Amino acid sequence: MEKIIKIFDTTLRDGEQSPGCSMNLREKIEMAQQLERMNVDIIEAGFAAASPGDLHSIQEISKSVKNCTVTSLARTHKEDIDKAWESLKYAIKPRIHVFLATSPLHMEYKLKMTEDEVVKRVGEMVAYAKSKCSDIEFSAEDATRSQVDFLARVFDTAIEAGATTINIPDTVGYTTPDEYYNFITEIIEKCPALKTVDISVHCHNDLGLAVANSIAAIKAGATQIECTVNGIGERAGNAALEEIVMALKVRKDLLKADTNIDTKQITRSSNLLTGITGIKVQPNKAIVGANAFAHESGIHQHGVLNKRETYEIMTPESIGLETNRLVLGKHSGRHAFNEKLILLGYNLNQEELDQAFIKFKELTDKKKVVYDRDIDALVSKQKIEIPKTYELEKYVINSGNTITSTTTIAIRKGEEILEEVATGEGPIYAAFKAIEKIIGKEMELDDFSLNSITEGEDALGDAMVKLRENGRAFIGRGLSTDIIESSIIAYINAVNKMIYASKEEK
């Protein structure tokens, strides 16, 4: 009989700690709601003690999520636990996630604590957390470099104090699958109380083994996997949710385990996260990469045309990709557009539908055919838009290989139209300088990229701009068939996010 593995998603906590992956409040809520649509079991919404902004965002996520457990991370300090509980007070199913390091290396050099002191702290703080909330997870940081006998002692103490889930993380991605299997098996033998709670694992990908180690842990008895969409996370990232879920789905015969995940939401979740963070997955990424279901080799094409299973071990439809498509263009009506949205998995209210249809019609004036990815980009962008301090009114470019590029830009700020001219080594650079003149501030441009959403000469251009201020990155996106316009929109979007973030902090 197959067992159901709980999926603990930490995209909004560990994932957001990736360099350049910070999200604003609206983006976090949109991502949390998508994780709920995907039917993850637990959403780790953040680390409440990290900042007032983190605490507030966890509260707002707790209000918006109805069907998943929402958890906040906390160190073994009463202040952290108090803040975690405050952040979760609106959650229907709250969980406090408490952690403390247990490896000799961490205890000696980071904690400056003895084994007895660690055991005592674990017992006291898990019990304190339990006085606030019935669902408590305890994590032994750097567990895979800890002593098994000591871990068993720590886990006995945590369970006795009220922990309902015990996490055995590979914090620095150090272990290997066989070693991890044996390690967990030995801990369970030495700590029989583990059989009365959920056993969780949280694997990092420093050696590229996070997913393999997670699968080995399931075989050893783990009942919960901690992971992130697209595998984002600190350093080399975390175990990728989509890879674990589909490995269990495809190899159910061997692993005898499955999840509650709606796999048809995998592609959308991946694309949404990419759109928010600007961090794209490599084309050959398993499950969600652009080439995951692409076949160029003649031998492969022949095999797939005759029998899909010759080269595909899962179907594109199973992760939310459409193989047959409804082609939309300038003559398509509202009904056809709404049907396409439903097929893509969107459920918009009337106002959102009206706004999306207007943007769709604007796009059909520029493109002969509108593809699924065009619509996905339009709607995803619309649903996470922030208040617009500045909006592009118009621009004029004078550029060539024998003259210095000049850009004139007019930007709307409320009822006021602000206009400036700037020169630069290219039209986009000149446009960015003109925007800086308008807002009266020089920006630190950290990254800039342009990609086409779809194929063809009239492809929708997707521009990504990353601005940095006081060590924080702000991602802006712009969509247009004109790549200069999409670049300008992306830059203004990043500026607006920067302004929105400063208002959130006040």
Same domain, 269 and 309: no
Instruction: With respect to residue 285, please indicate whether it lies within any of the assigned structural domains.
Output: no
| Amino acid (one-letter) located at 250 | V
Between vectors from CA 179 to CA 173 and to CA 185, what angle results, nearest 5°?
Answer: 115
Query: Taking a C-beta distance cutoff of 8 angstroms, is the pair 129, 77 a contact?
Result: no
Same domain, 435 and 498: yes
Tokens describing residue 71 = 């958890």
Closest CA to 267 of 410, 373, 153: 373
Please tell me the distance from the alpha carbon of residue 393 to that of residue 360, in angstroms, as a whole number. 19
What is the chain's pLDDT, residue by residue, as a tens digit (506 residues)?
689 999 999 999 999 888 777 899 999 999 999 999 999 999 999 999 999 999 999 999 999 999 999 999 999 999 999 999 999 999 999 999 999 999 999 999 999 999 999 999 999 999 999 999 999 999 999 999 999 999 999 999 999 999 999 999 999 999 999 999 999 999 999 999 999 999 999 999 999 999 999 999 999 999 999 999 999 999 999 999 999 999 999 999 999 999 999 999 999 999 999 989 988 898 889 999 877 776 434 454 446 456 767 767 788 888 888 654 445 677 677 777 787 777 666 777 888 888 888 888 888 787 666 776 677 777 766 666 678 899 999 999 999 988 999 999 999 999 999 999 999 989 999 999 999 999 998 899 988 988 876 666 667 788 989 898 887 778 888 888 899 999 999 999 999 988 888 776 66
Instruction: With respect to residue 287, please indicate whether it lies within any of the assigned structural domains.
Output: no
Instruction: With respect to residue 341, please indicate whether it lies within any of the assigned structural domains.
Output: yes
Same domain, 360 and 483: no
Instruction: With respect to residue 8, please indicate whether it lies within any of the assigned structural domains.
Output: yes
Please tell me the distance from the alpha carbon of residue 364 to that of residue 456, in angstroms, as a whole number. 14
Same domain, 352 and 401: no
Please tell me the distance from the alpha carbon of residue 154 to that of residue 201, in angstroms, as a whole number. 16
Same domain, 42 and 175: yes
Same domain, 443 and 317: no
Instruction: With respect to residue 288, please indicate whether it lies within any of the assigned structural domains.
Output: no
Instruction: With respect to residue 75, please indicate whether it lies within any of the assigned structural domains.
Output: yes
Final residue before a domain boundary, out of 277, 308, 342: 277
Same domain, 56 and 109: yes
Final residue before a domain boundary, out of 249, 277, 305: 277
Same domain, 375 and 396: no
SS3 sequence, 187-223?
HHHHCHHHHHCEEEEEEECCCCCHHHHHHHHHHHCCC
Closest CA to 384 of 70, 13, 24, 63: 24
Q: What CATH number is associated with residue 130?
A: 3.20.20.70
Please tell me the distance from the alpha carbon of residue 307 to that of residue 312, in angstroms, as a whole number. 9
Instruction: With respect to residue 284, please indicate whether it lies within any of the assigned structural domains.
Output: no
Same domain, 207 and 101: yes
Same domain, 22 and 137: yes
Q: What CATH number is associated with residue 481?
A: 3.30.160.270
Same domain, 397 and 359: no
Instruction: With respect to residue 177, please indicate whether it lies within any of the assigned structural domains.
Output: yes
Domain residues for 373?
330-384
Final residue before a domain boundary, out of 361, 384, 407: 384
Strand partners, 451: 462
If one counts the domains in the chain, the total is 4
Same domain, 92 and 150: yes
Strands 6-9, 42-46: pairing kind: parallel
